[in-house]
């Protein structure tokens, strides 16, 4: 089974796991949503239009009477649109909303199904170039959602394929533009300071797989030493 097929299998398993989260009476902000919208959201999941799903996925929690329950109910639709590149809002926002909805505290079958999607999505992304969702966006979503970057980088290190290397070149080109890598934060609200972990990985674990002389800048190694000595999220002593 290919990685893309494994992703589709994980998405189908997500549908099955969340099937117990049946419809309920949805209420919320009447300035942004009509009674027709509330009725649609209160009906069968598969009948809710993609436009409405995307809208709800982006709105702040205070728009809804029971935001955690609504988001949990919509997760299969939101995530499928997200990982297939059809959710036309900032993907990082989804990770932030999932955290607010307390996804890691949901029943084990639900959280396991979602974690399986993160893993399958990451594998599929690394094996497909170009991918439906840019690699940096995918990495940001799963990093913020799981509050962990290193396991995903380790998977990338172990995936020595032309597609993974092409993604690596894209990432390096992205984060070294104006040397954003010296202060790189992930998440819609900059929840995760990825500077030390990502810079260290680029300069050591995968340096031989990247043809980009910008990574040879001496100050990057100096910056890495400085960032490694301070807690994640604190201000750069170099002022960069």
Instruction: Give the pLDDT confidence of 123-144 residue by residue, as tens digits.
Output: 999 999 999 999 999 999 999 9
Give the span between the Cα atoms of 27 and 37, in whole angstroms: 10
Contact 14, 79 (CB under 8 A): yes
SS3 at position 24? coil
Residue 30 sits at φ, ψ, to 5 deg, of -80, -5
Q: Note whether 173 and 132 are within 8 A (CB).
A: no
0.85 surpassed by pTM: yes
pLDDT, tens digit, for every residue of 203-235?
999 999 998 888 988 888 888 888 766 655 433
The answer to whether 86 touches 180, Cβ cutoff 8 Å, is: no
- Residue 231: the pLDDT is 58
pLDDT tens string 62-80? 999 999 999 999 999 999 9
């Amino acid at each position: 089974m290919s990685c893309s097929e494994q992703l589709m299998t994980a998405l189908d398993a997500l549908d099955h796991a969340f099937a117990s989260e049946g419809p309920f009476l949805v209420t919320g902000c009447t300035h942004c949503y009509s009674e027709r919208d509330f009725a649609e959201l209160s009906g069968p999941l598969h009948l809710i239009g993609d436009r409405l799903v995307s809208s709800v996925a982006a709105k702040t929690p205070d728009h809804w009477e029971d935001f955690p329950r609504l988001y949990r109910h919509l997760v299969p639709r939101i995530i499928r649109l997200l990982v297939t590149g059809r959710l036309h809002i900032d993907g990082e926002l989804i990770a932030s909303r999932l955290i607010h909805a307390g996804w890691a505290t949901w029943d084990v079958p639900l959280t396991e199904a979602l974690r399986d999607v993160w893993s399958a999505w990451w594998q599929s992304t690394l094996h497909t170039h170009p991918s439906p969702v840019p690699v940096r966006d995918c990495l940001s979503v799963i990093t913020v959602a799981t509050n962990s970057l290193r396991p995903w980088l380790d998977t990338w290190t172990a995936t020595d394929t032309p597609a993974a290397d092409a993604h690596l070149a894209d990432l390096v080109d992205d984060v070294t533009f104006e040397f954003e890598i010296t202060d790189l934060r992930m998440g819609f609200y900059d929840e995760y300071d990825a500077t030390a972990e990502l810079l260290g990985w680029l300069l050591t674990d995968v340096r031989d797989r990247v043809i980009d002389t910008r990574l040879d800048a001496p100050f990057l190694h100096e910056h890495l030493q400085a960032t490694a000595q301070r807690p994640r999220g604190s201000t750069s002593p170099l002022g960069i």
